[in-house]
Structure 1
Amino acid sequence: MSIVEADRVRAKPQLETAPLIVHVVRQFLPNRGGLEDVVANLARQTVRRGYRVRVVTLDSLFTAPEDKLPLREDIDGIEVVRIPWSGSSRYPLAPQVFRHLADADLVHVHAIDFFFDALAWGRLLHGKPMIVTTHGGFFHTRKYAAIKKIWFRTLTRASAMAYRRVVCCSASDLKQFCEIVPDSLLIENGADIGKFADTAARRAKRRIVTIGRFSVNKRIDHLLDAMAGLKTRDPEWHLDIVGAESDLNRADVEGAIESRHLSGRVTLHVSPDNDTIRRIIAESSIFASASEYEGFGLVALEAMSAGLLPVLNANDAFATLAARHPVLMLADFTNPEAAATAIETAYEDLSRQPDVVRAGLLEAARGYSWDIVAERYIDLYRSLDVVAAENI
């Protein structure tokens, strides 16, 4: 069955003959993060439309490399295959990926890493049509910026030639990748707008939540500096930090909290489940992120869908979102006092017009529903199948 014909099996899926999309991504469930959530949501939506879906990923989480996960698992109808890896979490080597592509109709690679390069250079071995979604490339920090630019303009450019389409998930990615692949396509990420839908506090509270992995680029330190300033202005301010360990662990974050004398004013939640996060959001009014780099800004959209008013560091991705949705507020989190003032202003705006602000946030978030975004990917899958058929 061709990819174009997949819609015909929606009512009565014939999974043994339905076209197979193989997603290749370095980290997947049970890990939690923007990349993992995007792949999981796209995979679920694709399964619902009658396709078979396989996710090939690494057999352990970067935060616990010695704890091996099941080699095979079914998650919400998604076949998950996990393979061994070695080397650095920044560029994990996992050549067994080639073993799991033979029956694929299309290979969808996520992020610019070993898989992106290996499947490009090994395309004569597997012979499968491929697309790639950029997810911010590898410019999440300024570290090694000169080397990254050289790599991007040489090796990344060469690898990209093996892909039918390069899909950028943000306007900033599109601007960057058009330098090496002029026909790059923009499909912005979706957001799981139902996960925490309309759960934020109904009346304005001086309570902030931030959600995201504990990575250096998220600049939790800058957010804590702003929180220290808020505490001196009004003792009611409280911050909940929600996320999973990454290149920072629990002890790192706890140390940063204690060094600023914020114990009791900041609560740390490490890898809580969604029910717990929902309860935290229900007591909060403001979402804040001091992140210096985002591939798209997915977490801000989920915050909006909950009715939280975001105050965001003015990185490229957040600035693009704020230009499109003026209800969002930008701040310079490298300046703690300025960031604290922006958070106070957000609280005051919410206090004056809670229903109006909330309605604007919920309406803006609806445009990023995965139903809409998945259809854009399905349209792309169909178009590639037509091109392949014409070339046979």
Structure 2
Amino acid sequence: MKVLSITPTYFPQVGGIESVVRELAVRTSGPGVQVDVAHVSPKLAQPSVDELDGLKVYRVPVAGNRLAGYARDFGRLAAGYDLLHVHDPQLMMLTGNVLLQCRHIPAVLSTHGGFRHTTRHRSIKWLHERLLMRSLLRHYRKILATSESDTAYFSQFSDRVEKCENGIAYAKFQQGLLTGAPDASKWIYWGRWSRNKRIDAVIDTVAMARDQGIAIDLLIAGPDFDNLRESLQDQIRALKLDRSVRLHPYIEDAALMHELQQRTVFVTGSEYEGFGVGILEAMAAGKIVLCRDIAPINGFVERGVNGFFLGFERSAVDMATVRELTGLDATRCAAMSEAAQRKAKRYDWDSVAQQFSAHYAQALAAES
């Protein structure tokens, strides 16, 4: 079986889809199965092919943008594969090129939360949902919903939806376990710096805690996807948090693991998650999670057991939660860290990848 995993973003970019596509391709490759990756994006200037992690990675430029564009020679590339695994939250440009250039090749779709994570282009999304969603989904032999909420949403438009949650590199993030005494005032956020992640709200929370006499040490690390560094730095200066909040716009794995070993809490103000890979990775590293009470991540986080919920509204309720969190003793921190690791272990790619392999086989056996 030859599988081409088609993605709008890929390493060295860092984020949920990137890590899922990379790990999944590695874990499902093996005897009798070849998995390659096609990174299809308007941000690419020239076509190229290289090898990474033992996988062929094709870089395919797009004339247009991530919503509407033409990937030249994409059909010729895909023609040699038995199955396409399309990672297309927008159900636009990637799916459009699949339909235009390789409609005859069996395909499955991973949903990754769809495009509901922001209100941008709201009218276009409304029209797309009502006029195109059913017909676009009809092409796929399986729609692999990455969460319970995705399962419910996409089931409105197709009867081929099955829940197939993503995985994490559990062993890798075990290297980030705390090496010293726990300190619940030491926080970290790592992941994309995008608007829906609401890093600004996390910084405001640190200021709120400072004003109530609680000193938080926060590291914000990751790729600056939405060019937020300047505005975040201005916010930090305006709130006089220069000694409390540090920005690290990109962080290599070794440096990330070192930082994780020094920190007890992972915090995210994200208003929307398609799955929550970063949160599960943090839990694999034994971090107590501080996040919003939203699906699907509230399926991972249990208040007082492995994390806490915030509204990120600088409210009295939020302040009480921060006070409770930062007041945890070493015994309680250790118990919550162990509970976080147990939850994350369920999503280890070692077991999750087998589910994807089964879906691949079923898709090839199914009638289109």
| Distance in 1 separating the partners of 2:318 and 2:210 | 13
CA contact (8 A) 1:168 1:188 kept: yes
- Aligned partners of 2:214 and 2:67: how far apart in 1? 41
1:54 aligns with 2:32: no
CA distance in 1, matches of 2:46, 2:261: 33
- Give the alignment partner of residue 160 of structure 1, picking from 98, 120, 137: 137
1:278 aligns with 2:257: yes
Match of 2:182 in 1: 204
1:44 aligned partner: 26
How far residue 59 of structure 1 moved from its aligned partner, in angstroms, is 6.2
Q: What are the superposed Cα offsets for residues 143-201 of structure 1, whole Å, 9 maximum, x if unpaired?
A: 33343133123212211101101111011111110110133010111012122215235
| Residue from 20, 25, 31 that aligns with 2:13 | 31
**Is it true that 1:240 corresponds to 2:240 in the alignment?**
no
Whether the aligned pair in 2 keeps the contact of 1:56 and 1:83 (CA below 8 Å) is yes
Corresponding residue for residue 180 of structure 1: 157
Q: How many angstroms does 1:330 deviate by?
A: 1.6
**Could you say which residue in structure 1 is the equivalent of 2:71?**
94
Q: Does 1:128 align with 2:105?
A: yes
Describe how 1:287-326 pairs up with structure 2 within 5 A.
287-322=266-301, 326=305
Which residue in 2 is equivalent to 1:369?
A: 348
Taking only aligned residues, the RMSD between alpha carbons, in angstroms, comes to 2.3
In 2: Cα distance, 1:350 partner to 1:301 partner? 23
The range that moved more, 245-254 or 281-290, is 245-254
Unaligned 5+ segments in structure 1 are 1-18
1:14 aligns to what? none
Distance 1:121 1:86, change over 3 A: closer
TM-score by length of 2: 0.92
Change (3 A) 1:348 1:335: same
TM (normalized to structure 1)?
A: 0.86
**Distance change (3 Å), C-alpha of 1:267 and 1:305:** same
CA 1:69–1:144 in 2, change beyond 3 Å: closer, same or farther?
closer
**Equivalent position amino acid for 2:349 in 1:** W
Count the aligned residue pairs: 364
State which drifts further: 109-118 or 193-202: 193-202
| Equivalent residue number for residue 13 of structure 1 | none
The answer for the alignment partner of 1:142 in structure 2 is 119
Give 1:234 shift.
3.6
1:123 deviation in Å? 4.4
For residues 356 and 223 of structure 1, do their structure 2 counterparts lie closer, same or farther at Cα, with a shift above 3 Å needed?
same
State the one-letter code of the partner of 1:227.
Answer: V
- Percent identity over the alignment is 26
Give, in whole Å, the separation in 2 of the partners of 1:202 and 1:69. Answer: 47
Please tell me the residue identity of whatever aligns with 2:119.
R
